[in-house]
Copies of this chain bind each other. A is one copy, B any other.
Amino acid sequence: MPEKIRGVIPRKIKGFRDITPAMNRRRWQVINAAARVYKAYGFEHWDTPVMEYAECIGKYVPDEESMNPSEREGIYTFVNPEQEPVFYNDWTIAKDGEKTIMDRFPLVLRYDLTAPLARVYAESLWTEKLKGAVKTEKSPLFRRYQYGPLYRFEAKLDPGRYREFWQLDFDSVGTADITADAEIPMILADAMEAIGMKRGAYVIKANNRKIVQGFLHGLDIRDEAAAQNILRIIDKLDKIGLDGVRGELGKGREDEFSKAFIPGLNLTAGTVGRIIEFFKSYTSAGLRSETLASLRANAGGNELLQAGIDELAAIDAILVGSGFDETRVRFDPTLIRGMSYYTGPVFEVASLQTYTDAKGNERNIGSIGGGGRYDGLVERLLGIKVPATGASIGIDRLCELLELLEQNDAPADGPVFICMFDSALMREYQTIAAELRSAGIPAEVYYGMQKGLNKQLAYADKKGCSIAILLGSDEAAKGIVSMKNLKLGREIAADVTDKAEWTKRVQSEVRREDVVEAVRRIL
């Protein structure tokens, strides 16, 4: 660098955030409430490392990236500082003569919690395999929930998207039972209400991949890649609209904003018309039984479509039996979910509440979670199929929604604040704090260097303290303390403009020996 020295600017990586106490209160309220529901259904709390070998979790890249030529785009992949022995797939160590072949296996920050789950499960089976005892037919059941931060390197970040974000997943690995699928929307709905969402403020949408795939088979689109390309375009319906979808399925279209030409799949006008018609004819409105009847009427002899309908009907029966009606779970035959690895039922948690954005537009935050059945997850690691099904809640998105709705705002709960007036009284301040803590009430003595009373009270207000205790030498001599109800002060600050009146309502004197009792009364 010439002349000037390069500066170290204290900053976070783009797309990474600090989490404030208010954000943490909301985050942990969401996690604890939802985890309690997961647990009530028998899922256990596991955790896995934030970093893994890329080759162990590298295949199932989520979202659209998985369709890109480079599998790793969208992911933080790093060079391993360590060299390790190379194994062949018969588990023998690779040798070059006498010398073990070493390599740096690339590392990756986990981009979801499902790929590490597959690694955990496969690792356990692999240990069995070494013992020569892997069952390929009847894999053991494993039901776990897990939450924590995930990492995606998205070069362009949409508003509200982060490169470090939290999810809360539950999955059942080793079950093909449709009841395990049917439980997913029940769990998601129960979790939403445990978190504080009102009934009617959310809905769980359900569909089956086989329905869409069966329909495409009916149009003679049987190639998996071609079907995936079509699904990917249909999944953009919300973003690009019906005309956009029509263009991308057909001869291509010009992008509204960039004016760039986006090439199309060149399907015939007839095929495009029938696809559009199918997706227009269904929504998530209406009764599940009606949706099923309508699908059945159009199924013809399409076996895959029929299989999808039968599974959806089985899920409906279980939902009805468990009392989950359309106010909580609806069927939407157009629901796809982005990830290509789903093989059967798919689910989505949708917020139905709108909010007004900064520009005054009514907006909907949309999907805040989802999941489905994925029977191929472990296959790549061990070459055996293990049926699995599960779902995930996006914690940050949900917290953002709760904040937008000003709902579920865990109240600030700062400590009782003991002002520092006179360092000679420090021991007395400490004693008061200790008395409060013994009574189970958090308390803080001010140690800051900005000693002015206003600075001290501003600090306490920022922390959400409810009460400030003021004790100077005058009060000490009289055996009293002054007490300020900061919470009340904040509440009436807008209405009470007269300073004396405000102070009168907010401030009081109590005898020194009554401090704990007086605090308890105010709290």
Contacts and interface: CB of A to CB of B under 8 A. Distances in A.
Nearest to A21: B44
Nearest to A123: B10
Interface stretch (A170-178, A255-263, A330-338, A513-521): A170-178
Interface stretch (A265-273, A291-299, A445-453, A500-508): A445-453
A409 to B, nearest CB: 16
A315 to B, nearest CB: 12
Contacts of A382: 10
A92 interface: yes
A4 B90 CA distance: 8
A321 to B, nearest CB: 5
Given A42-B415, A444-B41, A51 B81 contact: no
A437 interface: yes
Interface stretch (A147-155, A200-208, A278-286, A359-367): A147-155
B444 A13 contact: no
Which of A137, A381, A444 counts the most chain B CB atoms within 10 A? A444
Contact of A46 (B24, B120, B430, B431): B24
A236 interface: no
Given A42-B415, A427-B318, A164 B7 contact: no
Nearest to A126: B10
Contacts of A52: 12-13, 16
Nearest to A17: B49
A46 B91 CA distance: 45
A434 interface: yes
Interface string A36-61: 00011110111111111101100000
A73 to B, nearest CB: 10
Interface stretch (A138-146, A475-483, A488-496): A138-146
A33 interface: no
A9 B87 contact: yes
Interface in A414-471: 414-415, 417, 426-427, 430-431, 433-434, 437, 441-450, 459, 463
Nearest to A437: B40
A68 interface: no
A234 to B, nearest CB: 31
Nearest to A464: B44
A7 B90 contact: yes
Contact of A56 (B10, B426, B463): B10
Nearest to A458: B140
A522 interface: no
Given A444-B42, A447-B177, A122 B86 contact: no
Contact of A79 (B79, B433, B446): B79
A53 B13 CA distance: 6
A497 interface: no
B12 A123 contact: yes
A6 B321 contact: no
Contact of A91 (B7, B107, B430): B7
A144 B20 CA distance: 10
B9 A180 contact: no
A4 B88 CA distance: 6
A94 interface: yes
A427 B321 contact: yes
A442 to B, nearest CB: 4
Contacts of A6: 86-89, 94
A54 to B, nearest CB: 10
A14 interface: yes
B430 A322 contact: yes
A449 B415 contact: no
A78 B7 CA distance: 20
A341 interface: no
Contacts of A55: 8
A249 interface: no
Given A13-B52, A321-B430, A175 B141 contact: no
A381 to B, nearest CB: 5
5 contacts: A13-B52, A14-B82, A19-B47, A42-B463, A51-B109
Q: Which 10 A-B pairs have the closest CB atoms?
A: A42-B444, A7-B89, A141-B448, A10-B122, A19-B47, A4-B88, A16-B49, A78-B78, A42-B415, A175-B447
Given A4-B92, A18-B47, A51-B164, 12 more contacts: A6-B89, A8-B56, A9-B87, A13-B52, A16-B51, A39-B415, A40-B437, A42-B415, A42-B445, A51-B109, A141-B447, A318-B426
Interface of A: 1, 4-14, 16-21, 24-25, 39-42, 44-53, 55-56, 76, 78-79, 81-82, 84, 86-92, 94, 101, 107, 109, 118-120, 122-123, 125-126, 137-141, 143-144, 149, 151, 153, 155, 164, 172, 174-177, 179-180, 318, 321-323, 380-382, 387, 414-415, 417, 426-427, 430-431, 433-434, 437, 441-450, 459, 463
